[in-house]
Homo-oligomer: A and B are copies of this chain.
Amino acid sequence: MERYVFGVDVGGTTVKLGLFRADGSRIRKWEIPTRTENHGDGVLADIREALLSEMRERKILPEQILGAGVGLPGPVTPDGVVNRCVNLGWGRRDVPAELSALLDGIPVRAGNDANVAALGEARFGAGSRYQSMVMITLGTGVGGGIILDGKIVPGSHGAAGEIGHLPIWDGAKTPCSCGNTGCLEQIGSATGLVRRARELLEETDLPSTLRSLGSFTAKDVMDRHGQGDAVADAVIAEAVDRLGCGMALVSCVVDPEVFVIGGGVSRAGEWLIRDLEQSFRRQAFHACRETGVVAASLGSEAGLWGAAALVLP
């Protein structure tokens, strides 16, 4: 009897779904919209419907499903309970219990989306050759996930791997979305790069072609790196310095074998990985200086692969 697992990656706009064989090979992936109205009350029911109809179509019996793994956009405790998912409108939800009940008892495991993406890279992507790995996701914010011995470190409050909120930037002039001031993601994220570039354009006379743009994105800043644009170079140097410091700190705590760098910002080019590696080595504790720094390889599918990995044998 063939065995299967489902991977489910819940985002604020779409839910990505995947059907996998027990050996980890993927059979199909598809998406459904995330219905966030009514405090996201329909999200789990929609997932149920999508998974059950897939099973019906392929004549897969419930006993052939080893489990469904779910990545969620919020802090998830070690037992899979999420306390708040702002993007879904959710308060406290025991997703493994609720979704398993909706799926006639199929086992369900849940994890935070950044942690689950890290697990995906660890098992199927850039981290698959290593025993321990820390993934850093550079996107709208800065996310992270810690994988030791092939397992997610969730943290007692679901906050392990919250690398974006390392309080290590003394240049912040406004509070972070978390309420503190000086978080790494205030300079190291796409949002942070744009905000900091705007500040430098206003406060300094540094030459920059960004001045001629009405509005600009992180990509506009990144594209000007190393092209003689003083503002772009200053902002990126600051971000790279702080991200390298964050990696040095993480090494003193869990000392992973490798850092895997993912997220939209990380697609700027090979130079970013190289610069982060240099910045890390310069600031790292001597025993950790040889720790690897590599680019993620699964892109936006890391979360789906990782969700499956939550329940794969």
Contact = CB atoms under 8 A, between A and B. Distances in A.
Interface of A: 75, 78, 131-132, 146, 148, 153-163, 165-168, 178-180, 245, 248-257, 283, 285-288, 290-291
B178 A254 contact: no
B156 A257 contact: yes
A288 B157 CA distance: 7
A156 B291 contact: yes
Nearest to A182: B283
How many identical chains are in the complex? Answer: 2
B167 A249 contact: yes
Tell me which of A252, A255, A283 has the highest count of chain B C-beta atoms within 10 A of its own C-beta. Answer: A252
Contacts of A254: 146, 153, 155, 160, 253-254
Contacts of A161: 252-253
Contact of A159 (B157, B162, B252): B252
20 contacts: A78-B131, A146-B253, A148-B148, A153-B254, A157-B255, A157-B288, A158-B287, A159-B251, A159-B285, A160-B254, A160-B255, A161-B253, A162-B252, A162-B285, A163-B253, A166-B249, A180-B285, A249-B249, A249-B253, A253-B254
